[in-house]
Amino acid sequence: MLLLVKLLLLFGLLAARPPVHSVTLELTELDNDFSKTTLSYFVSSTMVRFDVKDDKVVDKVTLDNLSVWSPPDDTEKLRCAKVIYNEFGPRLVLLDSKSKYGKHELLYYIYTLNGWVLLNSVNPFNISLQENEVEKEHKSPLHLVNGDVYTNFTHKLGKTDGTVDTVKNSVVKTQQLPKAVDSGKSSDLSSLVLATTTSGNTSVNTVNSSNTVDGVDGVDIFGISGVDLSNVPEPPVCRKCTYVVDGILYTIHYFHFKTKFRRVYYEGQQLYEVPKGKHLSGSCVYSRNSKVIFVDFLLSSPGKTHFVYFEHTSAGFVKLPKEEFNERLQKYKSIPTTVDLSTFNSKTYSVTTSKRLNKRKMDESVSKVDCMLYTPNDGYVIRRVIDGDLLVLESDNDILEVLYYNLGGQKLLSMILQEGANFQYEYYTYFGDLGKWSKSSEYFYYKLIDEYVKKSEGKFSLDLKTTTNNKYLIVQKDGFLNHLSYFPTTSALVNVVYDHGRLVWTARKPRESCIFVWHQYLYNLVYVVSTCDGQHTNYHYQKNGETWSFIAYEEFRRRFSFIYSTNDVLDLKDNFVGFDVTENGNAFTIKPKHFHLISKVTYGSVVLWNSLPNLKCFSAKIIYGANSTQAYLYLKDYEGRTFTTLYKTVDNDFTKWELSYSETATLDEVGTLPTNVKVENFKDKVENKVEDSVGNALENAEKLEKLEYRLEKLEDNLEKVEEKSDNATVDTTDKVEENAEKEDKLDSKLELTDKVENRDENTLENTVDKDENRDDNTVENTVDKVDNTLENTLDKDENTVENTVDKLDSKLEATDKVDDKADVDKSVETVETTVDNGDKVVETVESIVKLVDVVDGYLGGVFDLQKMKKTEYGDYVDARKYGLNYLLFTPHPGYPVRDLRDGLETIWKSSTQECVALSVFLRDDAPVMVELFVKCSVEVSRKFFQLKFNRWYPVDSHTYDILTDSLQN
């Protein structure tokens, strides 16, 4: 009965205790039932955090089915796990565990070629060590040659091969015997010894904690009297490390302080006998080209240490004094030398002509490219590379080889550098216009080689500095207009444009090629037209310093108008023919016609101002006064910045003018006038200011009748623009003409938008702002202002046009705002257009609101693959219509992708690079791979990603090609 009661109580306790479930935590599975997952995104990395629930016990942690951690016993419980990813995949795992005694422990695991390695247990000898609590009193420090002190631990064998010693005639020779050892048993605190008797029989024995061999009485591993340096014992008897300096391999052995080596052997031959009273603490073997040249021994005695040196000769090892040893060792060290690319004969290095393979894809043929290979001779090491008087590279590390290409005037260089046990590649390109070598990326290096190979196959690149007429290309030069036109033939495929080796443009889509290039070499402006699958695309570039940068079409059009505008001469006295003049009492505002600028301003025979190549006048204003006459000139430079200058008459003499004020580019001078400040406010700061009067003080100038506004229509303006730009137009094919028609339609929309924007200056400043960082409140206010402007404009009657013009005239004369967009003709045309063409105004404002929506949807460059089709700031192409398993997306200029995501997962992110195009490979209508065209400065490289285990991982181009080919087949 008592037993039954005890059983019932036991069952009750077990029933009241909550069940505990043991699970395996796979760090690639974000959606599981036993942990809470949190993602954190950083600039160059992503962290995934797993918080294990209280009722779950993790018995194993894996990542991609590769074991990371398992608890050593049942008392330790995993609380949290964190995985840190960078652009190469998972790199670091952090585990937070807690024992039942309340002790917390943070474990760090790093991913290496050998799997996940625990950073907490890394030591200089890469040996797994464990301290034995029982033998702490027997511990003693280990003093190394370099001065470091290590505490001696008892060696514990893990899941590795055991150590086997052959014992024969008291000579120990280490071998390896594969044997799996269970790390959970206490018997692992031992070594394995292979004992050989005089009769030839062998037996496997172990060395227990007392350092004696089981089965062989009286044998102690620390009591062996001899050691062979060609095959030293394993730890704990001896620890070994190696390194290379000046071409010499140093192999250092640290012997346990308990060892009693009296004789030293090398490959079975006795080398040295340790004197009595000395202890052999260590040795070093010096090797060069896999041959032993020197050996030294570190002997220690109480309170004293010294070295003994030997040289390896044909007769054996010969003892040397320290001074002679240092002298002879110096002769074996590598002598630094310099490689000169301009010379081919040297005693210190060899030059050979070689053909290197250039394999672009798995299914393409292999091409051979001639190159020069520079390698150091025996006893020398390359530390410096020059090209005549030009320094290419100078390094403290050894340069193993130098590969030099001369691709028809384009010179390339690649080098292999050794830094310790690691190797790295560096690439250099020669820029002739700068006269120097510059470091380049691996992509750019192989891109130039690939283009050179394509050139021999009918596929070539175009260089704006060196390319001339040939059978694949027609080049036309206009010396009067200072531009060059390039026309590739239909049989040529041009997919890259350079400027003296610098990348200007490269194809962004498969089968995209260049059909026309226009280069304005005086102002460094480039216009490229490409074709791909029957569709044309325009690209515009401006050179800034030594690099080329992409600019928007509006910016290109403004620069083009500045360069090729008609230059007029303005005579403020009586020559106003061809100008639009506005009179307001004694003040007259003069502006040139559309596509015209002022290159010279005079008053009769007196020259006030002459233009510069990068500075022209777009408006002038003259104010007649009783004491003096003022002439304001509003200037604009090539970059679009505006400045103001003021000229005055001296003693009211119209033959004498002086410069009273000139605005600088930085606006730092006292009394300068920014372009958004009214002239009335500025005149208050000028000495001897002259107020505008109405009809008074016009004694020295002829009275001008008030001119009527000439309202020109959009078609007339377009005809004038086409007449002025005939000489600069370079479209010679039907495809380019069709593309130009599309651009004309776009221009008409832009001009109409400009007119609506000029209707209200405040609306213009808020509406056309394309800043990525503006907030939502500004956008809402802008849309409200546009709506209010529409309602007021559409309610007006056609009969009120003249009154509106008069009001606008007074407003312009009162404010006199210096702005290159605020011009009288455009303002008057705006009123007439908004009244007569209400439907067009509605369409224009709708396009402005749509533009606001596009900017809001841009979100600073965040692009989601799941929303690719709905994204409005780029071109989306579904290539499945053409039989290809691809989705293509090209962002519009000015809207680059900087953060690529798939839902909540970040695939790629950068703050210094931008994605200019991407393609998504599909399998069963689901994305499996992504290819990005990433631009950094002027270089465009490609990045590849693969969807694996519901995560995106980066892959190389070779793997990407293999995967895409296998999936297509």
Run of H or E residues at 590: strand 587-592
Q: Which two tokens stand for residue 407?
A: 């691709």
Taking alpha carbons only, the member of 81, 152, 69 closest to residue 117 is 69
Give me the domain span that covers residue 96.
20-121
Report pLDDT for 331: 79
Coil, helix or strand for 207?
strand
User: Do 687 and 648 belong to one domain?
Assistant: yes
Q: How far apart are CA 300 and CA 323, in angstroms?
A: 20
Domain count across the chain: 7
| Residue 849 within any structural domain of the chain | no
| Residue 525 within any structural domain of the chain | yes
User: Do 164 and 301 belong to one domain?
Assistant: yes
User: Do 546 and 597 belong to one domain?
Assistant: no
| Residue 464 within any structural domain of the chain | yes
Q: Which two tokens stand for residue 176?
A: 């390896």
User: Do 666 and 796 belong to one domain?
Assistant: no
User: Do 591 and 672 belong to one domain?
Assistant: yes
User: Do 320 and 371 belong to one domain?
Assistant: no
Report pLDDT for 238: 84
Blockwise average pLDDT, block size 10, the chain, 969 residues = 61 53 84 85 83 88 86 83 86 86 80 74 41 39 43 38 35 35 37 40 42 43 74 80 79 83 86 88 87 91 86 89 88 84 84 65 52 85 89 87 82 82 84 84 82 66 79 81 84 82 83 88 91 87 88 87 81 79 85 83 87 86 86 86 87 84 47 37 43 41 43 47 47 45 47 41 41 43 47 45 47 43 40 44 47 49 84 84 86 85 88 87 88 81 88 88 77
Report pLDDT for 945: 93
User: Do 299 and 421 belong to one domain?
Assistant: no
DSSP 599-668: EEEEETTEEEEE-BTTEEEEEEEEE--SS--EEEEEEEETTS-EEEEEEEEETTEEEEEEEEEE--SS--
User: Do 588 and 654 belong to one domain?
Assistant: yes
**786: exposed, middle or buried (Cβ count in 10 Å: 0-12, 13-18, 19+):** buried
One-letter amino acid of 508: R
**13: exposed, middle or buried (Cβ count in 10 Å: 0-12, 13-18, 19+):** exposed
Helices (H), 138-205: none
| Residue 844 within any structural domain of the chain | no
| Residue 341 within any structural domain of the chain | no
List the end-to-end C-alpha distance of the chain, in Å, as a whole number: 76
User: Do 759 and 870 belong to one domain?
Assistant: no
Q: How far apart are CA 548 and CA 783, in angstroms?
A: 36
Report pLDDT for 903: 85
Coil, helix or strand for 122?
coil
Report pLDDT for 946: 92
Report pLDDT for 841: 44
| Residue 9 within any structural domain of the chain | no
Say which residues have a Cβ less than 8 Å from residue 820's Cβ, sequence separation at least 6. Answer: 618, 619, 634, 636, 640, 642
| Residue 700 within any structural domain of the chain | no
Q: Using omega within 30 degrees of 0 as the cis cutoff, is the peptide bond preceding 488 cis?
A: no
Report pLDDT for 831: 41
| Contacts made by residues 13-21, CB under 8 angstroms, sequence distance 24+ | 18/55, 19/55, 20/55, 20/56, 20/57, 21/55, 21/56, 21/57
Domain boundary among 121, 141, 163: 121
User: Do 937 and 804 belong to one domain?
Assistant: no
Taking alpha carbons only, the member of 489, 529, 498, 526 closest to residue 512 is 529
How many helices, marked H, and strands, marked E, lie in the chain? 13, 59
Residue 129 per-residue DSSP state: B
User: Do 598 and 668 belong to one domain?
Assistant: yes
User: Do 546 and 617 belong to one domain?
Assistant: no
Per residue in 545-580, pLDDT (tens digit) is 888 899 988 888 888 888 877 778 888 887 677 788
| Residue 96 within any structural domain of the chain | yes
Report pLDDT for 662: 75
Domain boundary among 418, 451, 484: 451
Q: How far apart are CA 636 and CA 903, in angstroms?
A: 47
Domain boundary among 502, 529, 551: 551
Q: Which two tokens stand for residue 326?
A: 């240092």
- For strand 349-358 and strand 335-340, is the pairing parallel, antiparallel, or unpaired? unpaired
Coil, helix or strand for 800?
helix
- For strand 587-592 and strand 46-52, is the pairing parallel, antiparallel, or unpaired? unpaired
